[in-house]
């Protein structure tokens, strides 16, 4: 009876993964296991893997690569000894020829020996540092996904991979916006500092009230929107490049790892 509470005290990320694996948690991981690194996920066949690794190297702001699996191996031991990318995310998106064909809560039946999993840093991981500094984050207060938008900003192509950048948005008072820029710049492996602030039209966002991947924004008088490069960018790239098969996380439904956010802070 006491095991879950004990485990939670020792490793809330492992407890959360167990709940996800058992199908007891299938929604967003926003604000959960807040000290632990969360990661975006991209799974591709081996014949696309080197191009994707090159794409990440060419686009470190939206695609900061933090771990890569061996072909056919669903484990990511550098992020957690028991991680299984087939079952440890609340929800996945399955792409065929660049189009989403299904959403799944477990992809074990789709797994193949030629698949390679890539984990990318996630902006959820710098949010704990913002909260620790007294910088409020509205989507966490409201229990929503962060607002995420397609932009007109081109990524740097690599082989067959190309597409536009996706960004996440958080809004702050001007003093808190300055603090947010300072704090997040210390976390380059989880997207780092924002790429833009202010006018959303300047980066090709036509209507800030209509994010493609998140909840409704709540921008109040005197607040400014800040935009960070986002790990949903590979999904836009998959749509553009159209590989025959790909699996990703669903936006907001992340891999919660055993690594701590503080390990990814730079001085």
pLDDT in tens, 22-71: 999 999 998 899 899 999 999 999 999 999 999 999 999 999 999 999 99
How many residues does the structure list for the chain? 267
Confidence of residue 82 (pLDDT cuts 50, 70, 90): very high
pLDDT tens across 215-257, in order? 789 999 999 999 999 999 999 999 999 999 999 999 999 999 9
pLDDT tens across 93-148, in order? 999 999 999 999 999 999 999 999 999 999 988 998 999 999 999 998 988 889 99
Confidence of residue 5 (pLDDT cuts 50, 70, 90): very low
**pLDDT above 60 for 7:** no
Q: How far apart are the C-alpha atoms of 170 and 147, rounded to whole Å?
A: 7
Which CATH architecture is the domain 3-123+240-261 placed in? 3-Layer(aba) Sandwich (3.40)
Superfamily of the domain at 125-233: PSTPO5379-like domain (3.30.2040.10)
Domain boundaries, the chain: 3-123+240-261, 125-233
Q: Supply the pLDDT for residue 30.
A: 87
Q: How far apart are the C-alpha atoms of 180 and 172, rounded to whole Å?
A: 8
- The end-to-end CA distance of the chain, in Å, is 42
Among all chains, which residue has been given the structure tokens 């956010």? 261
Q: Supply the pLDDT for residue 215.
A: 78
């Amino acid at each position: 009876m006491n095991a879950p509470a004990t485990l939670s005290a020792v490793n809330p990320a492992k407890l959360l993964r167990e709940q996800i694996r058992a199908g007891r948690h299938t929604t967003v991981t926003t604000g959960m296991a807040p000290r632990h690194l969360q990661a975006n996920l991209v799974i591709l066949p081996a014949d696309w893997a080197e191009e994707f690794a090159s794409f990440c190297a060419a686009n470190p702001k939206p695609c900061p690569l933090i771990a890569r699996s061996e072909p056919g191996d669903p484990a990511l031991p550098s992020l957690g000894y028991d991680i299984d990318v087939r079952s440890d995310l609340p929800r996945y998106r399955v792409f065929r020829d660049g189009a989403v064909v299904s959403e799944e809560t477990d992809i074990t039946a789709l797994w193949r020996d030629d698949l390679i999993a890539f984990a990318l840093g996630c902006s959820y991981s710098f949010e704990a540092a913002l909260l620790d500094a007294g910088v409020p984050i509205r989507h966490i207060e409201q229990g929503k996904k962060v607002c995420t938008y397609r932009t007109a900003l081109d990524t740097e192509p690599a082989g067959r991979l190309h597409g536009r950048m996706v960004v996440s948005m958080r809004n702050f008072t001007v003093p808190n916006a300055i603090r947010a820029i300072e704090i997040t710049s210390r976390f380059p492996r989880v997207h780092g500092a924002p790429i833009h602030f202010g006018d959303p039209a300047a980066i090709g966002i036509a209507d800030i009230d209509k994010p493609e991947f998140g909840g409704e924004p709540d921008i109040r008088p005197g607040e400014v929107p800040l935009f960070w490069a986002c790990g949903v960018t590979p999904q836009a790239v998959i749509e553009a490049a159209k590989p025959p098969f790909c699996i990703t996380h669903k936006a907001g439904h992340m891999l919660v790892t055993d690594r701590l956010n503080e390990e990814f802070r730079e001085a």
